[in-house]
Amino acid sequence: MRTQVVIIGGGPSGLLLGQLLHRQGIEAVVLERKTRDYVLGRIRAGVLETGLVKLMEEAGVAERLHREGFVHDGTEIACDGEMFHVDFRKLTGTPVIVYGQTEVTRDLYDARADAGAQTEFEVDHVVIHDADSDHPYVTFDQNGTARRIDCDFIAGCDGFHGVSRQSIPLSVRREYEKTYPFGWLGVLSETPPVHDELIYANSPRGFALSSMRNAHLSRYYIQCALSDHPEDWTDKAFWQELKRRIPDEIAERLETGPTIEKSIAPLRSFVTEPMRWGRLFLCGDAAHIVPPTGAKGLNTAASDVHYLYHALVQHYRDKDDEGIDRYSERALLRVWKAERFSWWFSGLLHRYPDQSPFDLKMQQADLSFLRDNEAQQRAFAENYVGLPY
């Protein structure tokens, strides 16, 4: 088999890239290790920057997003038992849209099926060959049969544990990593959101976040120890702890109920450089991880897709490789800015085990400065709604 682009990974970044290429007449085959139902069963954040929304529009898959998504003009930040509002639309002219990552993925899968584009599920033992040559190819097993696809380019959209990054020699790549000494315990409940915007809370007991998926489905998080397990937390214990960390006026109107999903996610900042090796390009979690604070994971993957999509169109349509040659440079420039924001915002809201009284005072001063200074709020809002591509 032969195609122009092999996309390894059938998550939102790989599907978005495939759909954008399809609309430009560029053929791509998507390889996914799991089934479609398995991919759609993953629960992920869903705060979409304007840049991602525009890519979805360009891909022709934004109709349901605009119909069902929640437009958020700002966010609330709580500290010392009080809240203050950061108005994104006033400060930047731009909102964000809350729309679940699962729904983004579903829309892209439906569009790919409608287009008759090729997606291969349940592939195993994927191996990338000759990526540093002019004739790369990918081999894999499927249903007990060995298969091979020859191609012009390979897009590695297969996440942190995928084969793509590992295919770049250690002599070529350099990795940067920070691990955080806590995790997020998250629950999903069939209850109405406690507020019409996200609430990020800093409290002496640790961080908390009140979010939502839709009008009847809420997502809540609390900072927890890395040694904790989801089964350690009963629903009653979770709701009690959440109420202790958010302002009283919010806690009083919080509707609780049985949780339908509960998990703990560790926090990590990670970047690999470069994001290109020969004809192999890394996108999304294959190249970088951000803490979930500020919801930059999917959005940073989308910026990679933007740069790679335009580079490939430039190659095929204009016979110009400038975008390909500069892909890693351009993508990493924005990646590191997103990493900085997620790292800074995490430091603003969480309690660290080694914080001294001085550190806590600095954290309080930083929160006060954000509350009281419009220029700081504007810088925060510009990062939150998404820096330009």
Active site residues: 72, 200, 292, 296, 384
Backbone angles phi, psi at 27, to 5 degrees: -80, 135
DSSP β-bridge partners for residue 147: 140
User: Under DSSP, is residue 221 helix (H, G, I), strand (E, B) or coil?
Assistant: strand
Q: How far apart are CA 264 and CA 38, in angstroms?
A: 19
Check: CB of residue 44 under 8 Å from CB of residue 188: no
Cα–Cα distance, 79 to 379 (Å, whole number): 19
CA dist 172 and 275 (Å) reads 10
DSSP at 239: H
Structure tokens of 12?
């939102």
Q: Contact 11/284 with Cβ under 8 angstroms? A: yes
Residue 330: φ, ψ to 5°: -70, -45
Contact 136, 129 (CB under 8 A): yes
Strand 119-120 and strand 28-31: the pairing is parallel
Peptide bond between residue 204 and the one before it cis (omega within 30 degrees of 0) = no
Over the range 357-385, which residues count as b (16 or more CB within 10 Å of their CB) and which as e? eeeeeebeebbeebbeeeeebbebbbbbb
- Helix locations, 176-296, DSSP H: 235-245, 248-253
Residue 276 contacts by C-beta under 8 Å, 6 or more apart in sequence?
282, 324, 327, 328
Closest CA to 290 of 281, 280, 301: 301
CB atoms closer than 10 angstroms to residue 326 = 14
Q: What is the DSSP letter of 351?
A: P
